Structure 1
């Protein structure tokens, strides 16, 4: 138990340090490369901080525990949309430009609907996984070219003067710390959960999902403190898309089997509802403040409480 607690503590420390390095480097690269912070959040930060989810899901699939892998994917998207977004806007309000911010939440929600359809149909074939990987590849290319075309100059006086090589090194070091810290946190958390007698599905939905989402949380809180909320939003949306298409696709290729229909009774509807909230914010409001953040955090707390009770 002492080792498990030590892994959790060290993992959290590495996550904080990694999040700081990643945000500073990524925002500087946005200024240097001529792309928007939103695009950097979607591709570099969003996908990079999802690396622990990929590692955990692949390890679970290879170990013959796909319930943990799929629970991790669903639980991570719920945590991204409720816990991480809620915590970030409690620090700094989120203000979006609807013209540029609607596309990606819509893609994320459509990907979630497709995920639910696969579960409902009972399909479990490696071709389904391949389709997910092809879709994420097409999305990244489209996001890059659209981001270049819509670029608005970024003024970042504190970090924008750094050399691009220094910024790239910061991104790589930050990602390394995030991946290492996330892995340590998951290892310790899973050990503690097993001592408490939790099932594989619940471990995937809660302990592993929250643990592997810790890089997104650390990065989002650091970015919010620096008032880089476009990076926060891009981080969340990019991570959601990556979880469903890339990690889900990889897991389906490694372990091609139908997903449990029990996921449709509670967890997938919660994921769809959470991602729909993000989409509606981008479509109608474009702004989230502390009151909304408190509502998101409360919703996540209720969901975790229901899991614990059931």
Structure 2
């Protein structure tokens, strides 16, 4: 059991640093290749912070732990909103943001609703996975087409320390990318192996482990990015980080995982976990679409709800 705890701890550390290195290297490469900031924000940052979820879900599905693969995504999306937005808004209340994020909020809602439909079936198959991936790439293409006129404006608004790229040499950039990928793979392997073994030892279902320990662990990059954004009072980066991650988690992570290995669905996901995730997503969307923002009292309530949700998971 002690070895399993060590595996989980080392896996979490590996996922955090692997994602951090990959993200830094990828952004540096994007700037070196003159890829617009818009694409950096939508694709590289969104994909980079979702890499832990991707590797853990794929690794879990291929090893026959579908509950961890699905629970990882569902739990991460709930944690992104209740835990990460809650913590960040306590540091710096979200009161001003780019209202063009409405398009992405609607996409997040649509992806969450689609997941609720998919978990009503016993398996999320390869065709469904392909459909999710196609929807994501169509959304990214549309977003790029719609926002390309704002690239210069976005670049002008970005502060030099938001994306550290100028001091990285080509060799160091390559080292960060390759080292980050390798560390992510090792971290995912250790986290899945340790968490599944602990689940069996304590008699806790793999679904609960996926929804809690694994979900929070793979959300560490979003948490780190969110806290940094909150401290610098960059609400747009904070919101975009979470919305982009939630969209990627469902459409890309589950899409790719299902294409590689169909995901078996425990009935509890359709009756409890995904409906809760969707309700949380709707509430967060209402705060943004209604121009209400997230003040400290709401942030505190989010953290209380997340604590209660975590307790409920063990009892369901």
Query: What residue in structure 1 maps to residue 214 of structure 2?
Result: 208
Greater Cα shift, 67-76 or 18-27: 18-27
Distance 1:82 1:170, change over 3 A: farther
Contact in 1 for aligned 2:15/2:52 (Cα 8 Å)? no
Contact in 2 for aligned 1:22/1:170 (Cα 8 Å)? no
1:1-310 alignment, distance < 5 Å: 1-11=1-11, 13=13, 34-35=36-37, 40-97=40-97, 99-120=99-120, 124-151=124-151, 152=153, 153-158=156-161, 162=166, 172=177, 175-176=180-181, 181=187, 184-256=190-262, 259-310=265-316
Contact in 2 for aligned 1:87/1:293 (Cα 8 Å)? yes
Greater Cα shift, 101-110 or 242-251: 242-251
Name structure 1 gaps, 5 residues minimum: none
Q: In 2, distance between residues paired with 1:185 and 1:306?
A: 23
Deviations 1:262-308 (A, max 9, x none): 32221111110111122112201252122221111111111100012
Distance 1:20 1:66, change over 3 A: closer
Distance 1:43 1:168, change over 3 A: farther
Cα RMSD of the aligned pairs, angstroms, is 3.3
Greater Cα shift, 161-170 or 275-284: 161-170
Distance 1:289 1:41, change over 3 A: farther
Contact in 1 for aligned 2:71/2:211 (Cα 8 Å)? yes
Q: In 2, distance between residues paired with 1:222 and 1:18?
A: 18
Shift of the alpha carbon at 1:309?
2.5
Greater Cα shift, 215-224 or 73-82: 215-224
**How many pairs are equivalent?**
308
Greater Cα shift, 199-208 or 106-115: 199-208
Contact in 1 for aligned 2:126/2:259 (Cα 8 Å)? yes
Per the normalisation by structure 1, the TM-score is 0.83
Shift of the alpha carbon at 1:134?
0.8
Contact in 2 for aligned 1:67/1:201 (Cα 8 Å)? yes
3-state SS of 2:219 partner: helix
Deviations 1:58-84 (A, max 9, x none): 112212222221122211111112111
Per the normalisation by structure 2, the TM-score is 0.81
Contact in 1 for aligned 2:125/2:262 (Cα 8 Å)? yes
Name structure 2 gaps, 5 residues minimum: none
Shift of the alpha carbon at 1:16?
5.9
